[in-house]
């Protein structure tokens, strides 16, 4: 039977957004409930992807193929393997949470806000399951549009600058990728099929060029040091939902690109340039960790912490062993939950105090005990406490890194100290201690809706930390296959 599940995962949210836009901003209740219904439907249609997933094969599952642009042999070709499938679920789940998070706090043009997130969600699902170069690119770029609007229209005071910086930075990367994709199309004798490209023989010089083109594109998205500067701006200015989607999903797109394109298509260049990639990753882990330490703005701190955690992911990819890559993938999913939760927590406080400055808080635990419990829990996960999801990925990557080279592993392991330092120091200043000022004294604890959102994430974080097997199980075959591709020279 031909499966249409992936198409549903993409188009249910996008088409569902149209009536949301159409309702307009006056009918707020209807808009909210409709958005929620669309988001939940979008999530429900992705569940069979997990339950019906065949863990024994590395091949593409739920495969769909329809000719799209016959002139250039572009196919509407979708499929997922163990690497991409979890992200579709993650993305669809996060979308539900984002809709809930924007329930009351977004007062201006709520229909457009919700609609933009739904469109964004569908486009990002498209990125994860596209198996055609052009289709991938089209989703990759189109997802910039809703994010640009989200940051620019509902963001903070400096939102316009942040939105344009975000857009141009990411566009810069993807345009070079477009040239590389076209080159691969011509070189492969007229195919945009990514799986065909995995078997393509390419000389060393073009491999390096293609690798660089992909690197610029994905490094900006991850973001890797030194092209990370758009992220703190975008995060700080974006509304809570925007930060959540950026951190939880959008950053994963770059990392996913490395696994789908760079490693299997140009493995020799990947090996050749691995020292560079490892160096950049370690700089991100250590240097950005220190940068995070000195932040006074909570959102900025979490943004830098995201960059640092993503450094772990790229490190895991470029040490080329099973545990490293699987650890990186687990880290991506875990970071999706944890960073989303952290940004939601900051959002909860921002909604009440309209400040993100650490100095404006202090002793929140006295007035918001339920919230503080959850916030502290997520902070622990963010710093990699065992039994939370944050630990599993980091531990696996460090193990892999030590296998690769002791000192690389050693350097990576410093994140356990640094991460704990900046996260827990922030927690100390914000949550604990005596009540800092009158505003904090007047804070009201979280309501049922906020508790539901954060609680759900807490369950995910804990479940993944205690029993990661269901997450790693689906990856094994695909990661094995990836390593096979990476090991084989394409010269």
From the CB of 218, what's the least distance to another protein, in Å?
Answer: 17
- Under rule CB under 8 A, residue 148 binds another protein: yes
Half-sphere exposure of 432 (CA within 13 A, CB side): 6
Contacts of 31 (CB under 8 A, 6+ apart): 20, 23, 24, 25, 110, 111, 114
Each residue 69-98 as x (binds another protein by CB under 8 A) or -, in order, gives xxxx--------------------------
Of positions 129, 144, 210, 376, contacts another protein by CB under 8 A: 144
| 120 vs 427 by CB, closer to another protein | 120
- Under rule CB under 8 A, residue 164 binds another protein: yes
- Under rule CB under 8 A, residue 185 binds another protein: yes
Of positions 37, 44, 47, 168, contacts another protein by CB under 8 A: 168
- Under rule CB under 8 A, residue 153 binds another protein: yes
Task: Judge contact between 61 and 81, C-beta under 8 A.
Answer: yes
Of positions 3, 11, 15, 24, contacts another protein by CB under 8 A: 24
- Under rule CB under 8 A, residue 176 binds another protein: yes
From the CB of 99, what's the least distance to another protein, in Å?
Answer: 20
| 140 vs 350 by CB, closer to another protein | 140
Task: Judge contact between 228 and 78, C-beta under 8 A.
Answer: no
Task: Judge contact between 343 and 457, C-beta under 8 A.
Answer: no
From the CB of 489, what's the least distance to another protein, in Å?
Answer: 24
| 138 vs 204 by CB, closer to another protein | 138
From the CB of 76, what's the least distance to another protein, in Å?
Answer: 10
Size of the site for another protein (CB under 8 A): 38
- Under rule CB under 8 A, residue 167 binds another protein: yes
- Under rule CB under 8 A, residue 186 binds another protein: yes
Q: Output the six-digit token pair for 231.
A: 């992220």
Of positions 17, 89, 163, 273, contacts another protein by CB under 8 A: 163
| 1 vs 186 by CB, closer to another protein | 186
Each residue 220-239 as x (binds another protein by CB under 8 A) or -, in order, gives --------------------
| 53 vs 139 by CB, closer to another protein | 139
From the CB of 21, what's the least distance to another protein, in Å?
Answer: 8
- Under rule CB under 8 A, residue 461 binds another protein: no
- Under rule CB under 8 A, residue 112 binds another protein: yes
Q: Which residues bind another protein (CB under 8 A)?
A: 21, 24, 67-72, 109, 112, 134, 137-139, 141-142, 144-145, 148-149, 152-153, 159-160, 163-164, 167-168, 171-172, 175-176, 178-179, 182-183, 185-186
């Amino acid at each position: 039977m031909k499966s249409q599940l992936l198409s549903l995962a993409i188009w249910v949210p996008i088409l569902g957004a149209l009536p949301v836009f159409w309702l307009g901003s006056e009918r707020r209740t209807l808009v909210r409930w409709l958005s929620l219904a669309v988001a939940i439907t979008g999530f429900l249609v992705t569940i069979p992807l997990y339950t019906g997933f065949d863990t024994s094969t590395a091949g593409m599952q739920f495969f769909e193929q329809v000719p799209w642009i016959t002139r250039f042999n572009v196919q509407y070709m979708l499929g997922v393997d163990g690497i991409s499938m979890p992200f579709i679920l993650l993305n669809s789940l996060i979308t539900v949470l984002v809709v809930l998070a924007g329930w009351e706090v977004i007062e201006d043009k709520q229909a457009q806000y919700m609609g933009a997130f739904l469109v964004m969600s569908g486009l990002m699902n498209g990125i994860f399951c596209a198996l055609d170069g052009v289709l991938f690119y089209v989703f990759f770029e189109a997802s910039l549009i809703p994010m640009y609007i989200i940051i620019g229209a509902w963001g903070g005071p400096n939102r316009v600058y942040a939105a344009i910086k975000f857009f141009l930075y990411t566009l810069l990367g993807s345009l070079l990728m477009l040239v590389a994709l076209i080159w691969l199309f011509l070189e492969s004798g007229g195919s945009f099929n990514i799986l065909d490209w995995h078997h393509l023989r390419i000389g060393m010089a073009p491999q390096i060029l293609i690798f660089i083109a992909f690197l610029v594109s994905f490094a900006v998205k991850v973001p890797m040091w030194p092209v990370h500067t758009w992220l703190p701006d975008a995060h700080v200015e974006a509304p809570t939902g925007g930060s959540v989607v950026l951190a939880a999903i959008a950053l994963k797109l770059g990392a996913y690109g490395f696994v789908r394109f760079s490693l299997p298509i140009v493995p020799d260049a990947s090996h050749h340039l691995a020292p560079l990639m490892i160096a950049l990753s370690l700089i991100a882990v250590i240097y950005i960790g220190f940068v995070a330490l000195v932040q006074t703005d909570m959102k900025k701190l979490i943004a830098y912490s995201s960059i640092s955690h993503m450094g772990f992911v790229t490190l895991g990819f470029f040490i080329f062993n099973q545990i490293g890559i699987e650890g990186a993938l687990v880290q991506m999913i875990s970071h999706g939950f944890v960073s989303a939760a952290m940004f939601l927590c900051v959002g909860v406080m921002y909604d009440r105090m309209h400040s993100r400055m650490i100095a404006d808080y202090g002793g929140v635990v006295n007035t918001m005990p339920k919230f503080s419990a959850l916030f502290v829990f997520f902070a622990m996960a963010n710093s990699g406490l065992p039994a939370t999801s944050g630990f599993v990925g980091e531990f696996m990557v460090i193990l892999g890194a030590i296998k690769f080279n002791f000192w690389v592993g050693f350097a990576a392991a410093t994140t356990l100290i640094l991460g704990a330092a900046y996260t827990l120091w922030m927690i100390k200043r914000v949550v604990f201690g005596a009540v800092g000022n009158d505003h904090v004294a007047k804070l009201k604890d979280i309501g049922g809706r906020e508790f539901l959102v954060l609680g759900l994430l807490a369950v995910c974080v804990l479940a993944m930390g205690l029993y990661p097997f269901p997450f790693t199980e689906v990856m094994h075959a695909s990661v094995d296959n990836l390593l096979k591709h990476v090991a084989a020279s394409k010269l």
